[in-house]
Amino acid sequence: MLNSRILTIEEAAAGIPDGSVVTVGGFGVFLQPMAMMREMIRQGKNDINLLSVGEAYAADLLVGGGCVRSVTLASFGFEAVTGRSRNFCKAVEQGKVEVEDYSHFSMASRFLAGAMGLPFTAVHSMRGSDLLDHLPEGKKYVKMDCPFSGEEVILLPAAKPDIAIIQAQRADMDGNLQVMGPTICIEEQARAAKRVIAIVEEIVPRSVIQANPTATLLPSFFVDTLVVLPYSAHPMASYGYYDYDLEHLYTYTNSSKTPESWKGYLDEYVYAPKDHYEYLEQVGGLRKIMQLRADPLLGY
């Protein structure tokens, strides 16, 4: 039964060993486990290897917090607030973080292979692209002639993270997890991982889950740890619950311009608040989070 494994965010983060291979769900302005990223930074995590798709804000924050050794990604551009994910880019430019680039579909496909328990996947993506020039052939990809059709395909190794950190809307006490709005690669990322930590806004009765079965993205046996924490995606959006906090995204990206301002951001929003609720007070408190509430029809 999962309900014995409902942990606080502090406990869940404590269970992530340094050096883990981690994948984080979400994309663009949606559904990234930002509170978990903040907690990981607070706990001083080191040498995390990120297997990513496009969860730019989460990855940028974790890299900015000094927790990351390597990133395998498809794309990290900031939505809503245009521009580069500065913390990530600088870390790569300064040689602090190793990077491996794949195309978007390639990463999705690698996770799918991992989810299916297969050792590799086949794609047409990246053929003729410079991306392949930077991935060691034989280790990170193999060019092969299809044994059936004879056409050239690219084989990529399955993505098999140790831990998937998934931000979702709600679950029941057993961990049947429902995600609303764009699900992106969340399902594949979670199923490919050895262990899943899911962070939700609320626990709902089983009858609510049963009334909406198609929203159940991950049945309970895919969820190992459940954390219940309202507004834990902030400043990202949680569809059906709250919109993204544009004002805070500007604060974030502006502060990542210089090392001093970035340190200031971390001090104010990550290290000073003793918990997630104090963080919410810092970003505007009750007034702000009430403003961010989603319209019941529009979902944002």
Name the residues that contact another protein, by CB under 8 A. Answer: 170, 202-205, 208, 230-231, 277, 280-281, 285-287, 289-290, 293, 295-298
Shortest Cβ 35–another protein spacing (Å): 13
137 or 281: CB nearest another protein: 281
Rounded to whole angstroms, how far apart are CA atoms 54 and 194? 21
Contact by Cβ (8 Å): 155, 121:
yes
- What lies within 8 Å, CB to CB, of 141 at 6+ separation is 126, 132, 135, 154, 155, 156
Shortest Cβ 33–another protein spacing (Å): 18
Rounded to whole angstroms, how far apart are CA atoms 76 and 54? 5
126 or 283: CB nearest another protein: 283
Rounded to whole angstroms, how far apart are CA atoms 3 and 145? 49
146 or 246: CB nearest another protein: 246
Which ranges in 119-221 belong to alpha helices (H)? Answer: 186-192, 206-211
152 or 278: CB nearest another protein: 278
Rounded to whole angstroms, how far apart are CA atoms 88 and 256? 10
Shortest Cβ 271–another protein spacing (Å): 19
11 or 281: CB nearest another protein: 281
Shortest Cβ 164–another protein spacing (Å): 25
Shortest Cβ 110–another protein spacing (Å): 35
CA atoms within 13 A on the CB side of 226: 29
Beta bridge partners of 203: 171
